[in-house]
Amino acid sequence: MARIGTSDLDVYPLCLGGNVFGWTSDEQQSFAVLDAYAAAGGNFIDTADVYSAWAEGNSGGESEAVIGRWLARRGRRDDLVIATKVGQLPTAKGLSAANIKVAVEGSLHRLGTDHIDLYYAHIDDSTVPLAETLGAFTELVKEGKVRHLAASNYDTDRLAEALEISKRENLAGYVALQPEYNLVEREGYEGKLAALVAIEGLSAVPYWGLAKGFLTGKYRPGVTVDSPRAAGAGAYLDDRGLRVLAVLDELAAAHRTSVASVALAWLGAQPTVVAPIASARTVEQLDDLLGAATLELAEDEIQRLTEAGAR
């Protein structure tokens, strides 16, 4: 288990991504994935109110509702760290105080719980003063509806400003950042943003840990993959992507594990990262990811991957 920033949340070093539940994974498969993740010792589940509004026939809230029904069936809630997000649901967009007040009730209702462990601002809403957003979040913490706050998709300047406002105005502050970050998407996080996260004592919980599936190794020249993610993931299949896959293949063979586990272990080994997020549509896919939680790569192995993924 690893501690998130200055919070009291201890999490399994692999966070289970929830956008598949009610989208590419039906309820039965979703429950099986959640059961298998918890049975392996996993306790950190990531979702958002908007998941998966983009899918045909869905309007958002499907993922939270699946997780809520699973929690009810499981009958135990307190050994889990449930993270969800506000700001992107088409019917509750943005981070105004009024919206946050309404949106949190929707999330709590769908999850069937009286508290959210980690509540993220899903996006940076520049139309609302940060003090208003943080004030509304602080109310939720005081009411016990939310335990800790986090930000997703904030840039360095805005995250610094938000942290400064929390300190100055005595408001609850973000304890984690959820950025896009993986072996083939590095520039957005490494550098200034990672340095700020480190200096301020936050943790990073990177999303798209598998680069939408590319880092599982199933995208290869001449192979067609049937997934709504195929266009995005397949775009990484260039010279650099092939270099990364070659090193991943070699290290996966050496450690007798999967390509996906090596890619996630690299991410988990980066400074500031507490737990990469990855999703699995099936229990078989999950099995391939769980090795990341215990795999320790040697310094030179990490370095080889870092160099292969450099632009």
CB 199 within 8 A of CB 271: no
Which whole-number Å values give the CA distances from 48 to 123, 203, 226, 258, in the listed order? 11, 19, 25, 28
Residue 200 within binding range of ligand NAP, rule CB under 6 A? no
Q: In the complex, what is the shortest distance from the CB of residue 169 to ligand NAP, in angstroms, rounded to a whole number?
A: 26
52 binds ligand NAP (CB under 6 A): no
Binding flags for ligand NAP, 138-167, as an x/- string (CB under 6 A): --------------xx--------------
Q: Which two tokens stand for residue 162?
A: 């938000």
Told to check if 107 binds ligand NAP by CB under 6 A, we report no
Annotated catalytic residue: which of 51, 119, 189, 207? 51
Q: How far is the CB of 243 from ligand NAP (least distance, A)?
A: 19
216 touching ligand NAP, by CB under 6 A: yes
For residues 258 and 251, give the distance between their C-alpha atoms in angstroms, rounded to a whole number.
9
Q: How far is the CB of 125 from ligand NAP (least distance, A)?
A: 13
In the complex, what is the shortest distance from the CB of residue 168 to ligand NAP, in angstroms, rounded to a whole number?
27
Among 288, 292, 297, 301, binds ligand NAP (CB under 6 A): 288
| Strand partners of residue 88 | 93
Quick check: bond before 52 cis, omega within 30? yes
Contacts of 12 (CB under 8 A, 6+ apart): 1, 41, 42, 43, 44, 275, 293
Read out DSSP for 228-239? TTHHHHHTT-SH
As annotated, the active-site residues are 51
Q: Which positions touch ligand NAP (CB under 6 A)? A: 17-20, 24, 46, 152-153, 178, 207-213, 216, 218, 227, 229, 260, 277-281, 285, 288-289
